[in-house]
Amino acid sequence: MINVSMEVEQYDCPFVHASDSHDVAFSSVHCDAGPRATEVRMVAEAADRPTLESGLDAVRTHREVDDYELFSKVDNVAKFRTVVEQTSAMRAVRDHDGYVTGPFYAEAGTETWHVGFDDPGLADGALAALERGHEFDVVAREDTDEADLHEIVQNAGAAMTLIEGCKDLSDVERQTLEAAVSDGYYENPRDATLGTLADRFDVSKPAVSKNLRRGEQKMIQRVIEALDDIE
Tell me how far CA of residue 178 lies from CA of 172, 187, 207, 215, in angstroms: 10, 13, 16, 10
Does residue 133 sit in the same domain as residue 28?
A: yes
Does residue 39 sit in the same domain as residue 118?
A: yes
Residues of the chain with pLDDT under 70: 144-158, 229-231
What is the model's pLDDT at position 49? 94
Q: Which of 142, 177, 198 is the last residue of a domain?
A: 142
CATH of the domain at 198: 1.10.10.10
Residue 147 lies in a domain: no
Sign of CA dihedral 140, 146, 151, 152: positive
pTM of the model: 0.63
Residue 122 lies in a domain: yes
How many CB atoms are located within 10 Å of the residue 212 CB? 18
Cα separation, 226 vs 201, in Å, equals: 31
Q: Which of 116, 142, 168 is the last residue of a domain?
A: 142
Does residue 202 sit in the same domain as residue 169?
A: yes
Residue 68 lies in a domain: yes
What is the model's pLDDT at position 214? 92
Domain residue limits at 65: 2-142
Does residue 95 sit in the same domain as residue 185?
A: no
What is the model's pLDDT at position 231? 57
What is the model's pLDDT at position 230? 66
DSSP 21-80: HSSEEEEEEEEEE-SSEEEEEEEEEESSHHHHHHHHHHHHT-TTEEEEEEEEEETTEEEE
What is the model's pLDDT at position 34? 79
What is the model's pLDDT at position 155? 60
What is the model's pLDDT at position 1? 80
Q: Tens digits of per-residue pLDDT, 76-110? A: 999 999 999 988 888 899 999 988 888 889 999 99
Q: Tens digits of per-residue pLDDT, 185-194? A: 999 888 899 9
Does residue 158 sit in the same domain as residue 127?
A: no
How many CB atoms are located within 10 Å of the residue 218 CB? 20
Tell me how far CA of residue 171 lies from CA of 45, 73, 168, in angstroms: 15, 19, 10
> How many domains, the chain?
2
Cα separation, 53 vs 160, in Å, equals: 30
Does residue 99 sit in the same domain as residue 201?
A: no
